[in-house]
Amino acid sequence: MASRQPSSTPSSRRSSRSSATASTRPTYLKANFTVEYMTAVLTAFRDNAEKVAAAIAECRRMAIEVLPPDIHRSHLEFTVEGEAIRFGLLAVKNVGQGAIESVIAAREAEGPFKTLTDFCSRIDLRLANRKVIESLARVGALNVFGHPAQVVEGLDDAIAVAQAAQHDLATGQTSLFGGAVSEDLLLEKPLPEVTPEPRRVKLRWEKELLGLYLTEHPMGEVAEQVGAFVNAYSSDLRDESLDGQRVVVGAIVTGYRLVITKARQTMGIATMEDLQGSIEVVVFPRLHEQTAGTWAEGAILLVAGRVDHKGDEVSLLADLVVPWDEAVARGPEAFNREVAAGDRGRGRRPSAGGVGSRSDVGVAVGPGLPPGVSGNGHGRDVAGVGARATSPERPAVPYVSPLRAGSPDARTSAATSPLAIAPAEPIPTYSEPPDFIGLAPERDDEPPLPDEARARAAGAAAGPTAAVEASPDSVLHVRFSGYAGADRVVTAMEAFKGLLRDRPGATRVVLHVPGSGGSALPMELRAGVAYDAELLAEVRRRLGDGLVDLQLGS
């Protein structure tokens, strides 16, 4: 008789349990320490522009404002500022850590910078050279002195005066009246009167130096009109029910690269952005030949094509592209007729590898939306344009801007054509960074602490404790055991949250959240704690030994 096979092995059950609870800690932190958690995520992925953009989009969805860089308020990393998040200076391209440390040290030593020349004279110009300062100016970090174009124009004079002042101080030269020469030199003339940079130039600088549009989006100026021309947004395309459906999107071109097919033909891969995220657009050889000059970076285009899902990757296989200005000049009705004409005779693509898919040209296409962005989860049915051309009445189209810090606002576009469009949903929930949702091996079935250990912990808590004091610049680092189950860690976090509420104080607190592979996500809390012997005793009393480790550092 054949032996009976077990239904599952212990390892498979453990794997299932880990999968089921893999997001327990991030979910708890996001719900209870929302601003702090998103700040930690932004810091963790500071060098990955796509993940930073996706996390900032999620902040906007949750009405968390992300403030621009500022030399008087920003630090090295992203930081919590009230109910908002301040952009970290290290996330600005062309800016090194040594330069930023020089800026922060000067600010903390002598207070705010009074003028551009004062700023240049107090920082280390060997670390923060002209390219560094110009990059900070272009992203608005020096707006306290003037608008970016004005600061850039006056930068050479300010650096020259500052270098002379620093040289005189280094060599001990003084004026006839005994004062440092730098004091006279720092009486700078006002910055030159320069016309502020155009809006599009400012946004281009943000994109180049921050990796994203921070203060506003170029699509914002056409947001109210675009609803009459499109029937899908970038966040919709990840819906698997749309695979093979023909849709129309409106977005700005952020990149375009050429690819040579197996047949030695040239095609293009465009990266585009709308107000809800990124879109990868595949431009096959024939369309590329017809429209090669259209895909200029910064161009706003309307693109019709079929949604193509390849595993986790999503692309739009373009068959029609029209510049925004041209479409507006013709009007939505004429544009929609052109789209509908192209849709006639186009049956639904039978499969992802069928005719018209990326596999036809024998080329591997790069990844689609950033890994931090997931589908909208609402199962929206954004059908092809032709399928809706006979709709008797056009519904209102709410425009939801992810750039608003407050609650989403809805504005309605007029019914100008028979083309129907489903309402735009808010930006989808940001998927937690994979590096920090993985849990250590689960120990949900581990036994509780032995009675002897509990008694020892209780005795230690009840006994006399030595006096403990924290210096004004101390930081309390709180680490949770990487071998404890998710439920126990969340319980410990909840208990520690109660301690913070009961014992407010001036000592900064950083939680180190255990992740996969022994990694930890440091997360500084907004609320400080009163660090003393009573706090240590209360932690042992509530949590016992071994689950939480407290270390006072800097």
Contact predicate 552/470, CB 8 Å:
yes
Could you give the CA distance from residue 22 to residue 25 in angstroms, rounded to a whole number? Answer: 8
Tokens representing residue 242 in the block: 């749309």
pLDDT computed for residue 235 by the predictor: 82
Tokens representing residue 227 in the block: 């609803």
Q: Where is pLDDT greater, at 413 or 256? A: 256
pLDDT computed for residue 442 by the predictor: 43
Does 262 share its domain with 361? yes
Does 226 share its domain with 304? yes
**For residue 44, what are the CA distances in angstroms to 50, 51, 155, 336, 476?**
13, 10, 33, 44, 20
DSSP letter assigned to residue 189: P
DSSP letter assigned to residue 150: H
Bridge-partner residues for 282, per DSSP? Answer: 269, 317
In a domain, 116, yes or no: yes
Closest CA to 282 of 258, 299, 263: 258
In a domain, 182, yes or no: yes
Could you give the CA distance from residue 524 to residue 82 in angstroms, rounded to a whole number? Answer: 13
* pLDDT for residue 4 is more than 50: no
- Of all helices (H) and strands (E), which one includes residue 335? helix 332-343
Name the pLDDT band for 495 (thresholds 50, 70, 90).
confident
Q: Where is pLDDT greater, at 311 or 449? A: 311
DSSP letter assigned to residue 328: H
Name the pLDDT band for 413 (thresholds 50, 70, 90).
very low
- Strand 66-67 versus strand 84-86 pairing type: parallel
Which phi-psi region, left, alpha or beta, contains residue 506 (left: φ > 0; alpha: ψ -120 to 50)?
alpha
For position 258, which CATH number holds? 2.40.50.140
Q: Where is pLDDT greater, at 523 or 139? A: 139
pLDDT computed for residue 126 by the predictor: 92
In a domain, 508, yes or no: yes
- Phi, psi dihedral angles at 549 (to 5 degrees): -120, 125
Residue in the structure block whose two tokens are 């924290």: 470
In a domain, 526, yes or no: yes
Helices then strands, each counted (H, E), the chain: 18, 13
What 224-229 contacts at long range (C-beta under 8 Å, 24+ apart), as own/partner pairs, is 224/399, 224/411, 224/413, 225/328, 225/413, 226/250, 227/397, 227/399, 227/413, 227/421, 227/424, 228/332, 228/397, 228/413, 228/414, 228/416, 228/417, 228/419, 229/302, 229/327, 229/332, 229/335, 229/336
pLDDT computed for residue 174 by the predictor: 53
Does 206 share its domain with 150? yes
pLDDT computed for residue 359 by the predictor: 46
Tell me the pLDDT tens digit for each residue of 319-376.
Answer: 999 999 999 999 999 999 999 987 765 554 444 333 344 444 444 443 333 333 343 4
Boundary-marking domain end, from 210, 238, 267: 210
Does 266 share its domain with 195? no
* pLDDT for residue 549 is more than 50: yes
pLDDT computed for residue 453 by the predictor: 54
Residue in the structure block whose two tokens are 């005994």: 178
Does 224 share its domain with 195? no
In a domain, 347, yes or no: yes
Single pTM value for the model: 0.63
- Strand 475-480 versus strand 504-514 pairing type: parallel
* pLDDT for residue 412 is more than 60: no
Does 340 share its domain with 281? yes
Q: Where is pLDDT greater, at 366 or 250? A: 250
Name the pLDDT band for 454 (thresholds 50, 70, 90).
low
* pLDDT for residue 282 is more than 90: yes
∠278-214-153 over CA atoms, to 5°? Answer: 125
In a domain, 13, yes or no: no
Contact predicate 85/79, CB 8 Å:
yes
pLDDT computed for residue 324 by the predictor: 96
| Mean pLDDT estimate for the chain | 76
* pLDDT for residue 18 is more than 60: no
Does 233 share its domain with 375? yes
Residue in the structure block whose two tokens are 């996706």: 54
DSSP letter assigned to residue 268: E
Residue 358, number of CB atoms within 10 A of its CB: 20
pLDDT computed for residue 301 by the predictor: 97
Could you give the CA distance from residue 67 to residue 214 in angstroms, rounded to a whole number? Answer: 8
Bridge-partner residues for 247, per DSSP? Answer: 305
Contact predicate 30/58, CB 8 Å:
no
Q: Is 1 exposed, middle or buried (0-12, 13-18, 19+ CB in 10 A)?
A: exposed
Boundary-marking domain end, from 144, 175, 210: 210
* pLDDT for residue 202 is more than 60: yes
Which regions of 292-400 does DSSP assign to beta strands (E)? Answer: 300-310, 313-323
- Of all helices (H) and strands (E), which one includes residue 452? helix 451-462
Could you give the CA distance from residue 365 to residue 128 in angstroms, rounded to a whole number? Answer: 39
pLDDT computed for residue 300 by the predictor: 95
Does 229 share its domain with 292? yes
Tell me the pLDDT tens digit for each residue of 509-538.
Answer: 998 887 766 678 888 888 888 988 888 888
Q: Is 415 exposed, middle or buried (0-12, 13-18, 19+ CB in 10 A)?
A: middle
Residue in the structure block whose two tokens are 């499969």: 351
The total of structural domains in the chain comes to 3
* Alpha helices per DSSP H over 21-115: 24-32, 34-44, 49-61, 97-110
* pLDDT for residue 185 is more than 90: no
Please state, for a pLDDT cut of 70, what percent of the chain lies above it: 69
Boundary-marking domain end, from 364, 388, 412: 388
pLDDT computed for residue 21 by the predictor: 42
Q: Where is pLDDT greater, at 196 or 459? A: 196
Could you give the CA distance from residue 284 to residue 357 in angstroms, rounded to a whole number? Answer: 10
Tokens representing residue 390 in the block: 């006979």
* pLDDT for residue 478 is more than 80: yes
Tokens representing residue 134 in the block: 């110009």
Please state, for a pLDDT cut of 90, what percent of the chain lies above it: 39
Contact predicate 36/523, CB 8 Å:
yes
Tokens representing residue 103 in the block: 């800026």
Tell me the pLDDT tens digit for each residue of 100-138.
Answer: 999 999 999 999 999 999 999 999 999 999 999 999 999
- Phi, psi dihedral angles at 238 (to 5 degrees): -80, -10
Tell me the pLDDT tens digit for each residue of 21-75.
Answer: 445 567 788 888 899 999 999 999 888 887 888 888 888 878 899 999 999 999 9
Name the pLDDT band for 188 (thresholds 50, 70, 90).
low
Tokens representing residue 328 in the block: 């507006």
Does 188 share its domain with 299? no
Tokens representing residue 77 in the block: 């990393």
Does 174 share its domain with 275? no
Could you give the CA distance from residue 124 to residue 105 in angstroms, rounded to a whole number? Answer: 10
Does 299 share its domain with 324? yes
Instruction: Among 9-23, 211-225, 443-457, name the one with the lowest average pLDDT.
Output: 9-23
Residues 6+ apart with CB under 8 A from 185: 117, 161, 164, 165, 168
Bridge-partner residues for 507, per DSSP? Answer: 529
Mean pLDDT, range 472-497, rounded to an integer: 82
Q: Where is pLDDT greater, at 285 or 255? A: 285
Range of the domain at 144: 69-210
Does 298 share its domain with 362? yes
Contact predicate 74/87, CB 8 Å:
yes
In a domain, 33, yes or no: no
* pLDDT for residue 389 is more than 60: no
Name the pLDDT band for 481 (thresholds 50, 70, 90).
confident
* pLDDT for residue 452 is more than 60: no
pLDDT computed for residue 346 by the predictor: 57
Mean pLDDT, range 433-446, rounded to an integer: 43
In a domain, 400, yes or no: no
Name the pLDDT band for 184 (thresholds 50, 70, 90).
low
